[in-house]
Structure 1
Amino acid sequence: MLSIEYETLYSSMLEQLQNINGALDEAANNLSDSLYCTVSSLQSLREMLKKYPPEDEAEQIYFFKYVKPKFQSWHIYVIEIHHLLLSVPIGTEQMIRDYYMNELHVINRFTQRYAFYYQYYLTNETSKDADFFLPSNKTEFPPEQENIVVEAGFATNMDFIFAKFRAFDMLRDFIIKRVRLLYQKVELGILSELVTARKFWWSGDKVELIELAYGIYHTHRFNGGAAEINDIVQWLEESLHVDLGQAYRMFLDIRRRKTVSYTKYLDEMSAAIHHHIDESNSLKRKKKKVLRST
């Protein structure tokens, strides 16, 4: 399985979305460029799958249960958040709060409509994985795909709806964040709050922060080890102006990794520090040689 290649492609897509929109959780500034980015990434993912097909059914299931939905969720998300923000009413803050609360109800109705599948998604069930995530078992009209035309071999019964679950989880986080802002400082208004909000902000994937949070928690470095994981997550949220409301859900993503390290981001940090120190030491040795020669 090409886990490193998938992660590289995914990171590149997120970086492009950030460059287009400024902040990944507010990807609404340029819908056409954002969609071009997500569609191009999905096309690259499809070509990668053709070139290096999964070796067995387990790898096929992993790809369509976790990898493809991770990419496709951003395609769905940029569309949803674009329309969400365009439709915010011009009026009182109570009208804006009511609008966002209604949008939360829309998301909840969707998950209730597909309650069995959503529970399967949340609990990381595996009993029906072969039916849900093998292209060979795809039925004619899977849920939510009645009007979607996809290339043969690049769709299963549940990969799209799992992508939609992921997208709606992100959208729910965004809406809750906006509602919190409205209730926290009503006198400022939502626009002034958003303008003054960010000094430091996180430009990576949220799951990387969850790695960091659990690393701090399990090494007992905060408050003599007395800090709970929720306290650490809240501290990261407030410091970096990011919503990590689905922290446990993202930790499940980390636990599901099979060929990628559970501590991928922490490993990357360690490698970067070692590289920097090695480069610095090498530069010092070169300077000493130059001084000796003179």
Structure 2
Amino acid sequence: MYMHPKWEILYTEMLADIERCKKMELPETERTESCYRVSVNYWFREKELFMSRVIYDDMEEITFFKTVKPQFTCYIEYYLVLNQGLLFIPGTSEERLLYWQEEAKRHQRFCDRHADFIRYYESSKTDQDANYFLQRNNRNVAMPQERIYEDADCRSSHDHLVRGLFANRMYHEYVLEKIRQLQDTVKNDEEFLRQKVKD
């Protein structure tokens, strides 16, 4: 997706800072919390930059809420969800595998719940963009679970769904990788036990 250079620079800096956090020699939960803080800080910078200009034409505003803002804020949601997921990991490899298999269903539940909007968004249609992505048409009250950062003065009615779609996709990829790793671990554990029984 095209992003105006002023947003692109900030976005590139955010991704670089997140990568630095991911490489820190810390437990995964602490790295996740650091990445979350980085993404929140960049959202505040992005919001400040957006709010510093008083007048946007409709196309600029739609572009911001449809493509720019969600590319920043999806990292906030992703790291919140990931941190929550990491806090509840059970003990054994088999239990962890079952846990992550359950977590893998989260993405599909989100897609099922918001299927009409996702179809619209991914179709590249634009006929509803003004309703979905202009602030003046936002008459929705954000549900508590959607208020993961402060944006009451800088939101459209549907940018949180784009954010959620991107965040859920990232989390789904993370979960699938965990499942692959654990399947290998469980397989190796079973092989080890079979060898031990033979000996």
- 1:264 corresponds in structure 2 to none
- 1:130 corresponds in structure 2 to 130
Q: Closer, same or farther in 2 for the Cα pair 1:125/1:112, shift >3 Å?
A: same
Matched, 1:146 2:147: no
| Deviation string, structure 1 residues 232-275 (Cα, Å, up to 9, x no partner) | xxxxxxxxxxxxxxxxxxxxxxxxxxxxxxxxxxxxxxxxxxxx
Offset of 1:88 from its aligned partner? 1.6
Matched, 1:121 2:121: yes
Alignment partners' CA distance in 2, 1:85 and 1:122: 30
Alignment partners' CA distance in 2, 1:22 and 1:13: 14
- 1:111 corresponds in structure 2 to 111
Residue aligned with 1:96, SS: helix
Alignment partners' CA distance in 2, 1:43 and 1:52: 15
| Deviation string, structure 1 residues 19-54 (Cα, Å, up to 9, x no partner) | 22328xx97424543333222111111121123456
- TM-score (norm: length of structure 2): 0.80
Give the fraction of aligned pairs with identical amino acids, expressed as a percent. Answer: 23
Q: Closer, same or farther in 2 for the Cα pair 1:94/1:36, shift >3 Å?
A: closer
- 2:195 corresponds in structure 1 to none
- For the Cα contact (< 8 Å) 1:77–1:171, is it kept in 2? yes
Alignment partners' CA distance in 2, 1:172 and 1:18: 19
Which letter does structure 2 place at the counterpart of 1:126? T
- 1:156 corresponds in structure 2 to 156
Further displaced range: 124-133 or 27-36: 27-36
| Deviation string, structure 1 residues 35-76 (Cα, Å, up to 9, x no partner) | 332221111111211234564211111110000000000000
- For the Cα contact (< 8 Å) 1:54–1:60, is it kept in 2? no
- TM-score (norm: length of structure 1): 0.56
Structure 2 unaligned residues grouped into runs of 5+: 190-199
Offset of 1:85 from its aligned partner? 1.8
Offset of 1:18 from its aligned partner? 2.0
Which letter does structure 2 place at the counterpart of 1:146? M
| Deviation string, structure 1 residues 90-133 (Cα, Å, up to 9, x no partner) | 01x33222111111223311221111112223333322110000
Offset of 1:79 from its aligned partner? 0.9
Alignment partners' CA distance in 1, 2:128 and 2:151: 22
Structure 1 unaligned residues grouped into runs of 5+: 190-294
- For the Cα contact (< 8 Å) 1:21–1:28, is it kept in 2? no
- For the Cα contact (< 8 Å) 2:62–2:134, is it kept in 1? yes
Matched, 1:61 2:62: yes
Q: Closer, same or farther in 2 for the Cα pair 1:60/1:113, shift >3 Å?
A: same
Q: Closer, same or farther in 2 for the Cα pair 1:2/1:110, shift >3 Å?
A: closer
Q: Larger relative CO (CA 8 A, sep 6+): 1 or 2?
A: 2
Alignment partners' CA distance in 2, 1:170 and 1:156: 22
Which letter does structure 2 place at the counterpart of 1:110? F
Offset of 1:181 from its aligned partner? 2.5
What value does the CA root-mean-square deviation take over the aligned residues?
A: 2.4
Q: Closer, same or farther in 2 for the Cα pair 1:176/1:32, shift >3 Å?
A: closer
- 2:5 corresponds in structure 1 to 4
Structure with greater Cα Rg:
1
Q: Residues 99-248 of structure 1: matches in 2 within 5 Å?
A: 99-141=99-141, 145-147=142-144, 148=147, 150-152=151-153, 154-184=154-184, 186-188=186-188
- 1:90 corresponds in structure 2 to 91
- For the Cα contact (< 8 Å) 2:3–2:68, is it kept in 1? no
Number of positions where the alignment pairs a residue of Structure 1 with one of Structure 2? 182
Residue aligned with 2:30, SS: coil
Alignment partners' CA distance in 2, 1:48 and 1:2: 14
